[in-house]
Amino acid sequence: MMDDDDPMIEIRASFFVECEELLEALQDGLQIMDDGQSDDETINVVFRAVHSIKGGAGAFGLEALVRFAHQFESVLDGVRSGNITVDRSAISVFFQSGDILADLVRAARDDTPQDETSTQAVLASLETILGHSAADEPEEVIDDFQPMSLVLDLGLDDAGPVDADPADVTVTPVFEDGYTIHFVPDSSLYVSGNEPLHLLRLLREMGDIQVMCDTSSIPTLADIDEEKSYLSWTIHLTTDEEEDAVREVFDFVADLCSLTITSPQAGSDDTPPPTPERPPLDDTSPTEPPLSTVDNQTTTGATAAETASEQLTVTPVATLPSAPANQDPPTPTKPATAKPRPTVRVDLERIDRLVNLVGELVINQAMISQSVAEADLLANTAVAEGLDEFMQLTRDIQDSVMMIRAQPVKSLFQRMSRIIRESSSMIGKTVRLKTIGDETEVDKTVIERLADPLTHMIRNAVDHGVETPADRLAAGKSEEGIVTLSAGHRSGRVIIEVSDDGAGINRPRVLQIALEKGLVQEGAQLSDAEIDNLLFMPGFSTASEVSDLSGRGVGMDVVKSAILALGGRVTIQSEPGSGTTFTISLPLTLAVLDGMVIDVAQQTLVVPLNTITETLTLTENDIRALGPETSVIKVRNTFVPLLDLGAELGYRTPMDSYIGAIVLLIAQEDGTHAALVVDAIQDQRQVVIKGLQDTFGSVPGVAAATILGDGKIALILDPVDVIAHADGRTRCARANLQLAG
């Protein structure tokens, strides 16, 4: 147990944050491989992610994580070297391995136990893949221990045998350019699960290398301690990469080795760089193992071939060309990728505190503006000009802070891919997840609170949306179902859609179940949209059997409640035989928004500015009667419903006439519009969102509240929700009489 003041706690926390980024890169690479578009670099990205996690886990003694990552890494190493062929079954195992790796990381982070059953099952699958690869290779038989030259096999190109007698070999490497790296691993490097072979291969990916292995420290066979390290390496690397990139290869083993990197500039003189001293070995010699067991020993610091080189005192060099010997080696080129920007990790609580302070700054700016307006100061006075600059600065600060809180939904979408795999395998369906717009940025608070409802919607799509393989084939579809998860910005809000290409909603069955449960009255005439919305009623479920996936009485009502708590909405669109789409509409942020301050029946309200298309003053020719108590207005050859906001909110009865009234033209997510009648428009300003859910629950048409510059509280409306719950009463008898005449 580490002390709270232990600096390792902070380093450990940074490691787990880094693991989340590596797991994200791992999932991206596996998805590319699954799409059949992978190349060598993609495989290397996947390998490096697993290798980096293993290296860091070894540094903190996370043995379970190291063991699993090591096995996963070994299989990926076989893929890199071409010894393992990747097919759909292997990709499936890789995805499962990535899921288990993520579980082990989080279990280690939270200090919780991990399910050994699932871990062992995936380990067995990895061993099967690795075993099939090993069975294709001839087993190397060592007849006797003879002094031999050591050729470093990086699994890339055949360096060829070294035929010269060891006594005649003279190694005098002359490196005129590139980096010279002296790498002396400590014994703890092997104990932590790291291997120099993988590090050398990572260097090999950066350019041409020459590797010199120093075996002079290997003792006699009787004195070898399998727990100690006896080898060291001198590597010459020719690359266009910066020194920081070269040093980054050794990041996770920096404290487990002696490392010296000499750049071309530093090595321009004739003086060779100093060779780092090998960590001292213990003076005591271990007991000599029986000769009959030497072949079966698994040594950490030296392989069987290395231990056999007891008379080898030279430092043979293995040159690894990047092309066949009859061709000139190509000039290493730098990948055409953008250089990653430097980042800094900050505790979320600090960002939340900064957001709260910005909110208070916005409120104070509004109060100052109110005071200046009441003082009737001229626009060209120093105070007014300074206030304008202060308002602009406040907006810039608010925008910058909101960008800090915004995060791509990519991490959330990646979690859903695991839900798809587990859900489909549980019920024997073949379903693939397709993501669109996963770089769309959303407030981090929204992302965290959206995970549960989105998980339920994905499971619902797999269980109820996508048909069984037999039914899909009978309907002329592919055996594999597709669930599409998309995100984007529309009308100032975040729109997330979950759609499937299944059979669509069976509306007759839904209506029958609703009648049986007493949710609707017998003989009620419901539209398709009303039948679809029955799915959101509490306790409604179409599952015929109770299973681990669905049918436990917890239906889509939970999803709707969670989304409403975020100030969002959820709608359904379904076409029989083609599939169903659930659309979630969410606010961009839960902190500050631009609003229009209006007056309705002597009440001050705020309407989000991003929902307002335009404002109009109605004339007699704009209004058209539609029944005795409803009206529409004509806007550029399009008729739009006219709604009295004061009447809809219950502040007053509908007005006798709406000629000369001010209306706000509201845009909805489906592209339609509606016009809300207001009494007056005060101004446009930024307002701080204060939630009402904890105190008052969900109020139809009301999103939140805010504090105005004069200290009064105003409700922030959700105009689309107002329109959805409107009864449409706009009794305008005078206008009707005028139009009839």
| 23-78 pLDDT tens trace | 888 888 888 888 877 788 888 888 888 988 888 888 788 888 888 998 898 888 88
Is pLDDT of 678 > 90?
A: yes
Model confidence pLDDT, tens digit, residues 576-591: 888 999 998 887 666 6
Give CA–CA dist 573/579, Å, rounded: 9
Q: Could you tell me where the beta strands, DSSP code E, fall in 547-701?
A: 569-575, 579-587, 592-600, 603-608, 612-617, 623-625, 631-635, 638-644, 662-667, 673-678, 680-688
Is pLDDT of 171 > 60?
A: no
Over the chain, what is the mean pLDDT? 76
Angle at 257 between CA 255 and CA 258, to 5 degrees: 110
Distance of CA 20 to the CA centre of its chain: 9
Phi–psi pair at 284, nearest 5 degrees: -75, 140
Give CA–CA dist 41/246, Å, rounded: 17
- pLDDT for 486 equals 93
592-740 is classed CATH 3.40.50.720: no
Model confidence pLDDT, tens digit, residues 528-551: 888 888 888 776 766 555 455 554
- pLDDT for 668 equals 77
Q: Which two tokens stand for residue 465?
A: 């949306």
- pLDDT for 409 equals 87
Q: Which two tokens stand for residue 74?
A: 């070994």
| Helices (H), ranges, 111-217 | 116-135, 187-191, 196-204
Q: Which residues does 607 contact at the CB level (< 8 Å), separation at least 6? A: 595, 596, 598, 664, 676, 716, 717, 719
Q: Which residues does 154 contact at the CB level (< 8 Å), separation at least 6? A: 197, 200, 201, 204, 211, 320
Q: Could you tell me where the beta strands, DSSP code E, fall in 386-492?
A: 406-408, 431-436, 441-443, 481-490
Strand pairing class (603-608; 713-717): parallel
Distance of CA 592 to the CA centre of its chain: 25
**What would the mean pLDDT of 498-524 be, rounded to a whole number?**
85
Specify whether the CB–CB gap between 640 and 623 falls below 8 A: no
Query: Which superfamily does 409-587 belong to?
Result: Histidine kinase-like ATPase, C-terminal domain (3.30.565.10)
Q: What percent of the chain has pLDDT over 90?
A: 6
Specify whether the CB–CB gap between 2 and 8 falls below 8 A: yes
Identify the bridge partners of residue 643 per DSSP, sorted by sequence position. 676
CATH for the 7-135 domain, from 1.10.287.130, 1.20.120.160, 3.30.1330.10, 3.40.50.1820: 1.20.120.160
- pLDDT for 547 equals 52
- The model's pTM is 0.59
Which letter, b or e, does each residue of 644-671 get, where b requires 16 or more Cβ atoms within 10 Å of its Cβ? bbbbbbeeeebbebbbebbbbbbbbbee
Model confidence pLDDT, tens digit, residues 270-286: 444 454 444 444 444 44
Phi–psi pair at 482, nearest 5 degrees: -120, 125
Give CA–CA dist 184/199, Å, rounded: 12
| Nearest residue to 725 (alpha-carbon basis) of 619, 624, 610, 647 | 647
Is pLDDT of 471 > 70?
A: yes
Q: Enter the DSSP assignment of 291.
A: G
- pLDDT for 361 equals 85
Model confidence pLDDT, tens digit, residues 488-507: 887 667 889 999 999 888 88
| Nearest residue to 600 (alpha-carbon basis) of 714, 514, 487, 510 | 714
Specify whether the CB–CB gap between 446 and 412 falls below 8 A: no
SS3 51: helix
Is pLDDT of 364 > 70?
A: yes
- pLDDT for 193 equals 67
Give CA–CA dist 554/135, Å, rounded: 50
Model confidence pLDDT, tens digit, residues 408-434: 888 888 888 888 888 888 888 889 889
Give CA–CA dist 507/347, Å, rounded: 48
